[in-house]
Structure 1
Amino acid sequence: MGNSIYKVPGGKLLKIKLTPSEGRILAIVIKGDFFLHPEETLVALEEFLAGKELDEIALAADIQNFFDEADASLVGASAADIAKAILMAV
């Protein structure tokens, strides 16, 4: 299991707990002082990321697409910031 703490430049703090397996996300917990609305989107995002390949560019695109489809608003960080924090936990 890996952990990371990433302070977004000019933004919020992201904390990642990651269980990787064979280059993919087995399990993930995302916390921090960012704002995500609706709030239940965070649990859905963690479930969505299970099984995804640990590739920063692909993860950023997948996360952004997830937010777009969920009509979710993320304040204080971006999909790319979350992807970066995930890879820092590997």
Structure 2
Amino acid sequence: MMGESVYKVPGGKLLRVQLSASDGRIDGVVITGDFFLHPEEALDALQEHLKGHVIKEQPLAETIGLFLKDRDAFFIGASPADVAKAICMAA
């Protein structure tokens, strides 16, 4: 299954997600938009890290949050919950 979403974070930035999934799990995901992620290279690593994860908003938000914490990375204009929501919207 392929899907796309566009999500405007209330008071924040725009997130675009292209999602490839099967059996309720992420096969591949591309996250773009006008948000910032510091450091920038964490985005590619995050997209790779999400492969195989179940497409459910709360577990994804927790996974994204832990991933960022482990790498001292952070979003500007979005949160892990916002990214998880955009991913689920694309499913």
Per-residue deviation, 1:35: 0.6
Unaligned runs of 5+ in 1: none
Q: Return the letter of the residue paired with 2:19.
A: L
Per-residue deviation, 1:9: 0.2
Q: Say yes or no: does 1:45 pair with 2:37.
A: no
| CA distance in structure 1 between the aligned counterparts of 2:58 and 2:25, rounded to whole angstroms | 14
Quote the sequence identity (%).
58
| CA distance in structure 1 between the aligned counterparts of 2:54 and 2:30, rounded to whole angstroms | 16
Unaligned runs of 5+ in 2: none
Residues 35-90 of structure 1: CA deviation (Å, up to 9, x unaligned): 10110000000000000001110000000000000100210000000000000001
Could you say which residue in structure 2 is the equivalent of 1:65? 66
Q: Say yes or no: does 1:88 pair with 2:66.
A: no
TM-score by length of 2: 0.98
| CA distance in structure 2 between the aligned counterparts of 1:14 and 1:66, rounded to whole angstroms | 18
Question: Structure 1 stretches (4+) deviating beyond 3 angstroms?
Answer: none
Q: What RMSD in Å do the two structures reach over aligned CA positions?
A: 0.4
**How many aligned residue pairs are there?**
90
| CA distance in structure 1 between the aligned counterparts of 2:74 and 2:58, rounded to whole angstroms | 20
